[in-house]
Amino acid sequence: FVRYWDDAAKSPYLFNAENNQLVVYDDESSLKLKCEYVNDNGLAGIMFWQYASDPKEYLLDVVNEHLD
């Protein structure tokens, strides 16, 4: 897999050209941008998929740090 960044979606993704497989996910950078969007637009909250897949709470730490 090779990591790419979709600037329109402000999100990373992985692509394996050999198997034609695509994986889309959130990381710390994309969640920080989502938090900024929520704060800038007066929205009520944020979510990310599969909290259980973040056992070291890297994503939760970003949300706690950047969400007003």
Proportion of the chain above pLDDT 70, given as a percent: 100
pLDDT given at position 53:
85
pLDDT given at position 48:
79
Whether 47 shows a pLDDT value over 90: the answer reads no
DSSP 24-62: E---HHHHHHHHHHHHHTT------S-GGG-TT-HHHHH
- How many residues can be counted in the chain? 68
**What would the pLDDT profile of 9-32 be if each residue is shown by its tens digit?**
999 999 999 999 999 999 999 999
pLDDT given at position 13:
98
